[in-house]
Amino acid sequence: MTTLLIKNAKLQDQEGLKQILIENGQFSRILDNDAQINHQGDILDAEGGIAVTPFCEPHIHLDTTQTAGEPNWNISGTLFEGIERWAERKELLSIEDVKSRAKQTLKWQIANGVQHVRTHVDVSDPTLVALRAMVEVREEMKEWVDIQIVAFPQEGILSYPNGKELLEEAVKIGADVIGAIPHFEFTREYGVESLHYVFELARKYDCLIDVHCDEIDDEQSRFVETLAALAHKFEMGEKVTASHTTAMGSYNGAYASRLFRLLKMSGINFVANPLVNIHLQGRFDDYPKRRGVTRVKEMLAANINVCFGHDDVFDPWYPLGTANMLQVLHMGLHVTQVMGYDQINNSLDLISKNSARTLNIQDNFGIEEGKPGSLLILPADNGFDAVRRQVPVQYSIRHGKVIAETQPAKTKINLDQTEDINFKR
């Protein structure tokens, strides 16, 4: 029997230090630090850091990652030039190319405490090469990270030749989640029809749904209401996600108020991608420029499930990134003005607990006796401290095994005397 005892750990919103025992890959006991416990296995000292649930990446494109500047850089930084640059790079795709790049970014994610990933994979391709590659990656990396694959019709379902057939074939090959992009279809009618087809397919194959929805500054792009209405009709809300919904930031107050009633009734999930949304949206605006991020603050207030994702890492649409979820969270809190103390202190939920609900894995997620023994140790006093100082993941533990560790940097200044600086007051 493999066991790991973690001592001197804090749990968010609980007093005192705790010890956490993991046996056979599951949390078996969580006790006060001074409680007696019979343990013969490995011991890990959390050194007073906080134990939190693993980070989840609810929205990333691993088929495009690590391609920034290949063969050319996106000089304008716009969505449209990104599409042009990707068209050039797409000609070079192969199974090994996609696998190599995806695994590299997955390793970055693992190093940053991510243990659950939902990746959107372009299936507007008769060969489905990227999808086939990601199915192999999912199997080869499953010991260290759980991967959900979204069949993402980048060019549309009705607006791309054989779009319906390719989407269904992607599910047969191994996609876990069915995607759509209704605002990119040729007409509004095509967009609505594409959503009806996605629900038909999801019910046929018992799949989750994750739609690139209203990722545009057009305040008349309102496909999220159709998505929510269908989710409500078929009682599938917890299995349905609306990604981006950037147009929602431009809706008038009267419409938004009516819409939120439907969103709550439907129970669907939302993903905002603050790094990329703030970068790509508002490009047609003069001043004032819109922020281009959905209504996260209002969703939180309404108890609608919302979380943060990367969208892109080091690719033609977003040339930066190291797959660090705390960077995503930091940007997201700023641009959505979720900056109260309690909001920041609890904000790790936006990259963990809320994301787990979006991925529909919440029943096997959390630091509770009987659940999978996976957690992170952050060298911080609480969630607020972790976000403010952007601390590294000191230990990432998966099913009782340490799969990643980072020693916090030590900084000294030499003024009148040498002094250690830890950026605490």
CB 78 within 8 A of CB 327: no
Please return the burial class of 361, using the count of CB atoms within 10 Å of its CB with bins 0-12, 13-18 and 19+. Answer: middle
* Distances 2 to 8, 179, 334, 399 between C-alpha atoms, Å: 20, 40, 43, 10
Q: Is 215 a catalytic residue?
A: yes
- Rounded distance between C-alpha atoms, residue 254 and residue 231, angstroms: 23
- Rounded distance between C-alpha atoms, residue 33 and residue 265, angstroms: 43
Query: Sheet harboring 306-308: ordered strands across?
Result: 55-60, 114-122, 146-152, 177-178, 208-213, 240-244, 269-272, 306-308
CA torsion, ordered 51, 54, 58, 60, to nearest 10 deg:
120
CB 266 within 8 A of CB 240: yes
Helix axis angle, 129-140 relative to 95-111, nearest 10°? Answer: 40
- What do you get for the CA distance between the two ends of the chain, in Å? 43
- Rounded distance between C-alpha atoms, residue 400 and residue 281, angstroms: 42
- Rounded distance between C-alpha atoms, residue 26 and residue 87, angstroms: 45
CB 102 within 8 A of CB 121: no
Please state whether 134 falls in left (phi above 0), alpha (psi between -120 and 50) or beta: alpha
How is residue 13 written in tokens? 């919103």
- Rounded distance between C-alpha atoms, residue 329 and residue 306, angstroms: 12
Residue 69's SS3 state is coil
- Rounded distance between C-alpha atoms, residue 150 and residue 123, angstroms: 9
Residue of 57, 185, 215, 238 marked catalytic: 215
Which residues are known catalytic residues?
Answer: 215
